[in-house]
């Protein structure tokens, strides 16, 4: 039995009654990580989600205000990085991406964005981030990021930090132009095998709905979602992650999407 994790970027949008009915009917147990801007906010969310018995673990996904960059990495300012200490002793997922700069998705903008941060800017606070992450137990920490080669990922975070954490690599096929997806599969499998040598790798599929940018490409239908789950089977990892919980619940016939996960695990 594989672990099933849901990233939940929009906890306020969750229909908890519907989620409870579906999970109970299918007898599906899940783990949920709730995006939160503070420990107080997380605890408020946790109180609500704890009422669902099929949610076995509730973790925290710390996010920043948009003006602070939203995601956390070595590019974040010192106070933002130090704020992670408030979540000590929790199950934690850190979304390690360059700071948010734009509120809309486009391939052209994303290309310029990566060139800027991956090639021309320096992450001044990588070492501080490493220092803070050492306060967390390996079993409690997930670092979630793009499937970048080590020399590029090292721009965001010190590679040695992956030894003291679990590494979540995003297989977000919907963000890849369709013509390139067969090549992306080959590349992703290669990258996963490389990182397995230094960390416990788990993989995330998506997107079931747009994220913080509001217009990211998403699965057209359930068939595309199932296809990605079948691919993840070939990677021999012990956990499947789905982005994003509120998005699944808003799909037509959401229970069918959860059933597809049962077939996988």
Q: Over the stretch 78-94, which tens digit does the pLDDT of each residue have?
A: 999 999 999 999 999 99
| Token pair for 16 | 């908890």
8 A C-beta contact, residue 8 and residue 52: no
Higher pLDDT, 112 or 218: 218
Higher pLDDT, 114 or 156: 156
Can you give the pLDDT at residue 264? 82
* Distance between CA atoms of residues 32 and 39, nearest Å: 16
The average pLDDT across 28-57 equals 96
Question: Which residues lie below 8 Å from residue 113, measured CB to CB, with a gap of 6+?
Answer: 98, 101, 102
Can you give the pLDDT at residue 116? 85
Domain 3-264 has CATH 3.20.20.70: no
* Distance between CA atoms of residues 164 and 27, nearest Å: 33
Can you give the pLDDT at residue 1? 52
Give the mean pLDDT of the chain: 93
Higher pLDDT, 177 or 114: 177
The average pLDDT across 137-161 equals 93
Judge whether residue 141 has pLDDT over 90. yes
Residue found by looking up tokens 């996010």 in the block = 63
The average pLDDT across 120-135 equals 91
| Token pair for 175 | 């963000």
Judge whether residue 162 has pLDDT over 90. yes
Can you give the pLDDT at residue 112? 82
Judge whether residue 12 has pLDDT over 90. yes
Q: Percentage of the chain with pLDDT > 70?
A: 100
Q: What pLDDT band is residue 64 in, cutting at 50, 70 and 90? A: very high
The average pLDDT across 52-61 equals 97
Can you give the pLDDT at residue 184? 96
Judge whether residue 218 has pLDDT over 80. yes
> Where is average pLDDT lowest: 28-37, 92-101, 109-118?
109-118
């Amino acid at each position: 039995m594989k672990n099933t994790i849901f990233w939940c970027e929009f906890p306020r949008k969750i229909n908890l009654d519907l989620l409870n009915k579906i999970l109970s009917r299918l007898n599906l147990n899940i783990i949920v990580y709730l995006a939160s801007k503070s420990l107080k906010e997380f605890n408020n969310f946790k109180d609500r989600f704890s009422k669902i018995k099929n949610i076995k673990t509730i973790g925290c996904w710390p996010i920043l205000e948009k003006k602070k960059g939203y995601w956390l990495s070595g590019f974040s300012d010192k106070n933002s990085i130090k704020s992670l200490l408030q979540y000590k002793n929790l199950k934690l997922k850190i979304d390690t991406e360059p700071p948010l700069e734009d509120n809309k998705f486009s391939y052209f903008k994303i290309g310029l964005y990566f060139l800027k941060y991956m090639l021309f800017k320096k992450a001044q606070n990588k070492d501080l981030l490493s220092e803070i992450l050492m306060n967390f137990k390996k079993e409690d920490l997930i670092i979630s990021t793009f499937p970048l080669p080590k020399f590029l990922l090292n721009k965001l975070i010190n590679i040695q930090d992956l030894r003291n954490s679990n590494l979540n690599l995003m297989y977000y096929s919907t963000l890849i132009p369709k013509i390139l997806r067969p090549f992306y599969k080959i590349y992703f499998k290669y990258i996963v095998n490389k990182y397995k040598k230094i960390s416990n790798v788990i993989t995330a599929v998506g997107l079931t709905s747009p994220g913080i940018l509001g217009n990211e490409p998403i699965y057209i239908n359930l068939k595309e979602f199932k296809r990605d789950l079948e691919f993840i089977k070939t990677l021999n990892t012990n956990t499947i992650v789905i982005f994003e919980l509120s998005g699944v619940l808003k799909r037509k016939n959401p229970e069918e999407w959860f059933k597809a996960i049962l077939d996988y695990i």
